[in-house]
Amino acid sequence: MSGILIDIVAVAVILGFMILIHEFGHFAVAKLLGVRVEQFAIGFGTRLIGFKKGETDYRINLLPLGGYVKMSGENPMDERTGDPREFLSHSRWHRFLIAIAGPFMNIVLAIGLLTIVYMVHYEHATYMDQPTVIGWVEQDSAAAKIGLQRDDVITRVEGIQNPTWQELIAKIMLSPNQPLSLNVSHDGQTSQKTLVPEATGPSEMGFGGLEPKHVLEVTDLEPGMPADKAGIRIGDVMVALNGKPLLAVGQMIDILKQTKDQPVSLTVSRDGQMKDFTLKPVLDDLGGADSQRYRVGIGSMPTKVIPLSFPEALTHSFDTNKKTSVLILELVEKLVQRKVSMRAVSGPIGIAQAAGEAAQEKGWTPLMELTAAISLNLGIFNLLPIPILDGGVILFLFVESLMRRDISLAIKERVYQAAFVFLVLFAVMVIYNDIRKTGMLP
């Protein structure tokens, strides 16, 4: 099966499942509260297939761009008959429960999926929850410009005291070209510095140019690349390159930029013995002309892989989703403030590529983790206070509760029209950026 076809199938399955879960939340609560549901649809437009059971038409439509649950009297512009089973005949509390049920189901699904994954395969980089001890600073990077050095410890980033590498990396990525206030401990003395991460890559996320201090164990070898051909093994510890102590993968990348395709000598420690290997780097394209660099095919990301008990898995899943939710909301805030590029947002093409890559990885956990991430994003996105979305419905209900009366239909109609235009333009922009990130557009 070709890569594009795998991407299409994977994203269709994932998004179809997400939409089904989301709309089932609305459907189940509406039915429970006695609201008549006329249609339960996946997709929009012309009906392709389906069946009718009771008063509900279960259908799959032509355009696979979402889904909906159509409830009697749901549209404020429709004429109301006063039927107690119409959506607008129910109390605002009932309407709130129906509106929030869809995003709630997506968030619960994200927590549930990660819990299952962690009970089987809890994997995370060993340094991500460790203190931010710097192991390498890239030459001419943002970190180098403010004088950060190996063995420095970042004791504060913005309002976070004693951050972990996970917290620091997240702050850097979400702050391209924006100043970050740091407290740095160097030789027992603490100073305050301001780091301005550079916007890099297709998504223009922040990059600081610093790496954590950790043992450079070989954790990944690309088949057919120079390191694999030379006899390097998983578990080897990289010690030196061309006779110089090797401190970080970033240092290796810098050296290979200078040596280019000239052979290099890599010294590794294996079973307590030092071994030397000669590698001839190759120029590799990592996704566009700007991403070409000389490589040997070695990855060093020491990880812990353990199964967790159900209580531990649930706790870790909840914590992971909570942290991710905060990052998503911070990203939205910075998008509105224009501090982060729209390229940071992935649309259907970007999601399809990620889904295809996850589907081709070994085991089912990568696809489950991606599905959980998409489900969480979908749940939070739908809670944004934008009319047409569930969050917009909740906002209207909140305002009407304060006013103690319904907002006029004329105002709602204008607001819905403006929101529809906004969402269409937003979707076009996201898809355009997706295409640009593939390199098909300048």
Pairing of the two strands 264-270 and 273-279: antiparallel
Pairing of the two strands 210-212 and 282-285: unpaired
User: What span, in angstroms and rounded, lies between the C-alpha atoms of 28 and 37?
Assistant: 10
Tokens read off for 97: 């429960």
Tell the residue number behind the tokens 């309002």, with chain if given.
159
> Does residue 78 sit in helix, strand or coil?
coil
User: What span, in angstroms and rounded, lies between the C-alpha atoms of 350 and 364?
Assistant: 20
Q: Cα 23 from chain centroid?
A: 22
The DSSP H or E segment spanning 114 is helix 92-120
User: What span, in angstroms and rounded, lies between the C-alpha atoms of 207 and 356?
Assistant: 26
With 0-12 / 13-18 / 19 or more C-beta atoms within 10 angstroms meaning exposed / middle / buried, residue 8 is: middle
Contacts of residue 3, defined as CB under 8 A and 6 or more positions apart, other chains included, come to: 356
Tell the residue number behind the tokens 């129910």, with chain if given.
90
- Is residue 23 part of the annotated active site? The answer reads yes
Say if residues 134 and 247 touch (Cβ distance below 8 Å). no
The DSSP H or E segment spanning 392 is helix 390-403
Burial annotation 121-159 (CB, 10 A radius, 16+ → b, else e):
bbeebebbeebbbbbbbbeebbbeebebeeebebbbbee
> Does residue 55 sit in helix, strand or coil?
coil
With the C-alpha atoms ordered 358, 360, 362, 364, is the resulting torsion angle positive or negative?
A: positive
Catalytic residue among 23, 167, 211, 369: 23
Q: How many helices (H) and strands (E) does the chain have?
A: 11, 20
User: What span, in angstroms and rounded, lies between the C-alpha atoms of 288 and 335?
Assistant: 25
**What is the set of active-site residues?**
23
